[in-house]
């Protein structure tokens, strides 16, 4: 009887033992990812796991993962490779549905390396950027200095004389030199005299004036009457009303 019970016990235990979980499908591949700078690429070893089964699941998951990696890499330089890897691996533990499939990306992990050539390209680019920034700053400082000299120093003769004296204290004779006034006038300082702009006459207005001057009194009266009709035809009743009575507009 005991042997019979032991047999039943072994059969029940063997039938109810926990079976190991079926491993999730996984795939490992290498990817070249473009960085934010042309000619400098990341090299990545990628591991993906997913849930779900359908035809060409591996290819679909791989294409989706590659697209995600490319987006994250495209805005970063290879000098930030470790930061990029940390970012991807942190996000890779979050499940993401693969669009237009029944698959779910459950795990994404990368190991990123940077080829020496890519690092050299990026380093040269950043050095050029640094020089360009310094040059832009230098030019800006120089331009501000020139504007200061123009507006605050040489645009004001009295200040210009004191500025000269500050740098040439022994040359007192030059303080009376009118060249400071000339410079201020040329630079647009307070001493500058601006000529009144010449207004060019409209040639049509000149011709009409000559025509009217040669008319007799009756001809002028007739012309003024016709002008009233012309003004009204162009919806300028306001001008027609300003003509008034033609007899009042005719000279002797």
Q: What is the pLDDT of residue 32?
A: 95
Q: Tell me which residue of 231, 199, 227 sits closest to 215, measured CA to CA.
A: 227
Structure tokens at 133: 């920034």
Q: What is the pLDDT of residue 189?
A: 47
pTM for this one? 0.52
Contact indicator for 184, 155 with CB cutoff of 8 Å: yes
- Domain chopping of the chain, boundaries: 26-119, 155-187, 213-249
Q: What is the pLDDT of residue 3?
A: 57
User: What CA–CA distances, in Å, run from 217 to 62, 110, 188, 228, 250?
Assistant: 97, 100, 53, 17, 6
Q: Tell me the pLDDT tens digit for each residue of 134-180.
A: 999 999 999 999 999 888 888 889 888 888 888 888 888 888 888 88
Q: What is the pLDDT of residue 177?
A: 86
Alpha-carbon span 224 to 228, nearest angstrom: 6
Regions of the chain with pLDDT less than 50 = 189-199, 249-252
> What CATH number belongs to 26-119?
3.30.479.30
Q: Tell me the pLDDT tens digit for each residue of 39-56.
A: 899 999 999 999 999 999
129 SS3 class: helix
Phi-psi region of 161 (alpha: psi -120 to 50; beta: other; left: phi over 0): alpha
Q: What is the pLDDT of residue 58?
A: 94
Q: Tell me which residue of 217, 219, 241, 247 sits closest to 229, measured CA to CA.
A: 241
Residues 6+ apart with CB under 8 A from 50: 24, 25, 26, 57, 61, 98, 103, 104, 105, 106, 107
Q: What is the pLDDT of residue 191?
A: 42
């Amino acid at each position: 009887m005991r042997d019979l019970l032991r047999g039943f016990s072994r059969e029940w235990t063997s039938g109810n033992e926990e079976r190991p979980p079926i491993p999730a499908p996984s795939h490992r591949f290498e990817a070249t990812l473009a960085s934010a700078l042309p000619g400098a690429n990341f090299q990545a070893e990628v591991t993906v796991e997913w849930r779900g089964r359908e035809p060409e699941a591996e290819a679909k998951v791989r294409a989706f993962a590659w697209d995600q990696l490319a987006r994250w890499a495209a805005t970063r330089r290879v000098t930030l490779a470790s930061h990029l890897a940390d970012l991807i691996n942190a996000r890779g533990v979050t499940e993401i549905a693969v669009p237009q499939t029944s698959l779910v990306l459950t795990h994404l992990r990368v190991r990123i390396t940077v080829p020496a050539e890519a690092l050299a390209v990026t380093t040269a680019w950043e050095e050029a950027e640094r020089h360009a920034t310094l040059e832009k700053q230098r030019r800006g400082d120089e331009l501000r200095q020139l504007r200061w000299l123009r507006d605050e120093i040489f645009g004001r003769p009295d200040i210009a004389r004191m500025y000269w004296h500050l740098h040439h204290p022994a040359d007192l004779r030059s303080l009376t030199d009118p060249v400071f006034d000339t410079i201020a006038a040329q630079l647009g300082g307070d001493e500058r005299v601006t000529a009144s702009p010449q207004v060019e006459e409209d040639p049509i207005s000149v011709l009409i004036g000559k025509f009217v001057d040669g008319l007799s009194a009756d001809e002028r009266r007739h012309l003024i009457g016709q002008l009233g009709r012309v003004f009204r035809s162009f919806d300028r009743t306001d001008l027609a009303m300003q003509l008034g009575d033609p007899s009042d507009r005719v000279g002797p």
